[in-house]
Amino acid sequence: MAAWLRRCGIVLIWLTIAGMLAASPTVTAAQTQAGGGMKLSLVDEISTYSLNRQMDILEDPQGKWSIEDVQSPAMQDQFRPAKGKSSFGYTSSAYWVRAVIVNDSSNSRWEISVLNPLMDRIAIYPAAEMISVHRHYPTYQVLLQPGEQTTIYMRFETYGSMMLPLQLIAQSALYDSMHNQLLYSGIYNGVLLVIMVFQMVLFLYTRNRAYLYYALYVISFCIAVLIWNGFTLRWFGLEPVEGSGMAAAGFWSSPSGLYDMFYVLGRWFGCLFAVNLLMPRDYSRLSDWICRALNVFCPLLCISMPFLYPYGMASFLFWFKYVSLFLMMLVLILCAVKGSRIAFFLAIPKVPVVLIAIVPKALLMYGLLPNNFLTRNIAQFGVIGDFVFMAVLLYALMNQMRRKEETTLQALVVTLSSWNASLNKRVEEQTESLKQANVKLIESEAFRTRMLQNISHDVRNPLSYVQSGVQALHAKLEMRPEEQDRLLRKLRDKVQDVNRFIDDLLDLTRWDETTEDREARLVIFNEWMEEMGEALAADIEYAGRRCVLSLEPAGTDVDVRMNPHAIKRVLANLIHNACKYTPPGGTITIHVSYPADAVRVVVEDTGPGISPELLERIFQRHYSGVGSESSGLGLAIAKDLVERHGGAIGAESGVGQGSRFYFTLPVVRTDDR
């Protein structure tokens, strides 16, 4: 099958080339062989002539000859017949054209058109008026008196391909010629505009980056085609400049340079489109490397063109444009062979267009095919066909994506409905659990209140008795020995009562700690921290500081056994401390990472920092630093709570460098649950 397709492709190429050769200009009956075969006779029956069959050419390698030099007898003998040839490839030489015209018609007003709008410099002798209104090719009005012979010289110079298709047309027949030409151009450019708008609408609808790159690819190549046809030259101020010499001509005054730049720019966007749509790295390493290389070279060439194009870069760009095109065809074929259906469908229009349309255009620009309507326009027709096919294909892909989105959306609705029912049930369970916890909390608070009232009452009485006894001993009142013993025993009993009450207070503290231990549960820390981080960030922003929340992806659920309220107190203390010492407008960073068997939380500020001697005592109870108005309990409480959970807490700082507080909590492994 592949061999059969290859044979068909070769046959199509040869048939196309044969058709182009057959369509090349031929000598009409009005073109005589008089005077050595180098004169063109004009008759009334024919209004349009191709000058390439009857003109002579002279190559000026240095580009320094003037019209006086060319008209000298020595130079006249160096002219050679063009023999219908109009394309001379890429050259830095200037070319002179000599046309001897005998006007045997009744028309005296004629126009000479250069059917190549990419020509950079044109001069005509004797001087003729250049017509730019309603013309998209360089056109000159010449006066040929009936019955007289006129010799016309033209000088051409360009950075790009030296293509010189010259046409002579009577102004009396100009209306019919322009009517057909403008009709064809209007239809063609209208199709281009519709395709460009359609691609932009596709991108705006899908918001897919691949569609954006393809839209830019289409726009770039459409601009290149419009430049090739001469419709955009006035947009850039690129009307062909009369006169000789390329010394003062730069890139931005070169139509061929702008054409090449948009062509390479289009190739770059096309490569980006292929990378985002085909994902070649998933199919072929070679395809991936080709796309990577083109995505580097294309923008580099576009950047370097304004500087290097006037120094012979056009010939290199010719080879780059067509070698890169065949490399992109190779990428499509490799991905299609590896199983990419999208690459297969993309290759259906691309390969025939390249073989039948693009290759002949390359041969034309390199001077290997004659310049005629078919060779000049076949690439444009191929590009239109390619764009239309691609528009249909991308629209089909968009519909396929839309159907997938609808199916996914329906599945999501079903899943969300199930989650909603489950969530409602869980909310009811949690509400009931919270009610029970609230009842227990009220009972616990009432118990502690009663206990503290009792302790306060019971401590006050023994202390009053002890105070009276101490005053009696201090006054040295006379007492019998047995009374003194009784007083001392009473004092000792009251002191023991106070000790018992103190033990009760310690028992109350121990009860609080065990309560916190009982409330410890298994928590998915990465999910809990995402929710808590947003709340803390909001508090920081409300305090007039900026917050940077950095949560490293955990990959899987990280389970930590902890009391969420206690760890929240730790975070709140650290955040409060950071806000207090960070000036307004400063930045506070919360970073969460997951080293081996632990979670690590870091709170970093941009405050004045802490000196090393103060940093050693920062976690001591009631230590608040020099000049601070706080109680000094916040960091000490945070240290106690973290250590109760089996973790560790620390700080790093330096004067003028901000402070960095961190703590770690152990992760519960699966086999420890």
Average pLDDT on 344-367 reads 71
d(CA 40, CA 147): 13
259 exposure class (CB count in 10 Å sphere: 0-12, 13-18, 19+): buried
Q: Which domains does the chain have, with CATH numbers?
A: 40-172 (2.60.40.2380), 186-238+251-410 (1.20.1070), 515-666 (3.30.565.10)
Residues sharing a CB contact under 8 Å with residue 352, sequence separation 6 or more, in sequence order: 9, 12
| Per-residue model confidence (pLDDT) at position 2 | 39
HEC sequence for 226-284: HHHHCCCHHHCCCCCEECCCCCCCCHHHCHHHHHHHHHHHHHHHHHHHHHHHHCHHHCC
Spell out the alpha helix ranges (H) of 61-173: 67-70, 73-76
Tell me the pLDDT tens digit for each residue of 75-93: 988 999 988 888 888 888 8
Q: Write out the H or E segment, with its range, that includes residue 448.
A: helix 373-474
Pick the closest to residue 271 from 308, 320, 204 (CA basis): 320
Tell me the pLDDT tens digit for each residue of 130-152: 776 777 788 888 988 898 999 99
Q: Are 661 and 646 in contact (CB under 8 A)?
A: no
Spell out the alpha helix ranges (H) of 123-208: 174-206
Average pLDDT on 331-340 reads 85
d(CA 314, CA 319): 9
443 exposure class (CB count in 10 Å sphere: 0-12, 13-18, 19+): exposed
d(CA 120, CA 164): 12
Pairing relationship of beta strands 521-524 and 559-562 according to DSSP bridges: antiparallel
Pick the closest to residue 305 from 314, 295, 296 (CA basis): 314
Q: What is the mean pLDDT of the chain?
A: 77
Residue 246's pLDDT band (cuts 50, 70, 90): low
Considering only residues 102 and 36, tell me which one the structure prediction assigns the higher pLDDT.
102
pTM of the predicted protein model: 0.54
Residue 21's pLDDT band (cuts 50, 70, 90): very low
Angle of helix 481-519 relative to helix 373-474, nearest 10 degrees?
170
Q: What's phi and psi for 89, nearest 5 deg?
A: 75, -165
pLDDT at 364 over 80: no
| Per-residue model confidence (pLDDT) at position 619 | 81
| Per-residue model confidence (pLDDT) at position 23 | 39
* Number of residues in the chain: 673
d(CA 578, CA 540): 9
pLDDT at 507 over 70: no
pLDDT at 49 over 80: yes
The region of weakest confidence among 155-159, 408-412, 591-595, 668-672 is 668-672
Residue type, 17: I
Q: Are 162 and 156 in contact (CB under 8 A)?
A: yes
pLDDT at 244 over 80: no
| Per-residue model confidence (pLDDT) at position 605 | 92
Tell me the pLDDT tens digit for each residue of 187-206: 777 877 887 787 787 778 77
Residues sharing a CB contact under 8 Å with residue 246, sequence separation 6 or more, in sequence order: 63, 120, 121, 157, 159, 310
Residue type, 248: A
Give, in order, the Cα–Cα distances in Å from 128 to each of 121, 316, 635.
15, 35, 93
pLDDT at 383 over 60: yes
d(CA 274, CA 279): 7
Alpha carbon 489 to its chain's center: 90
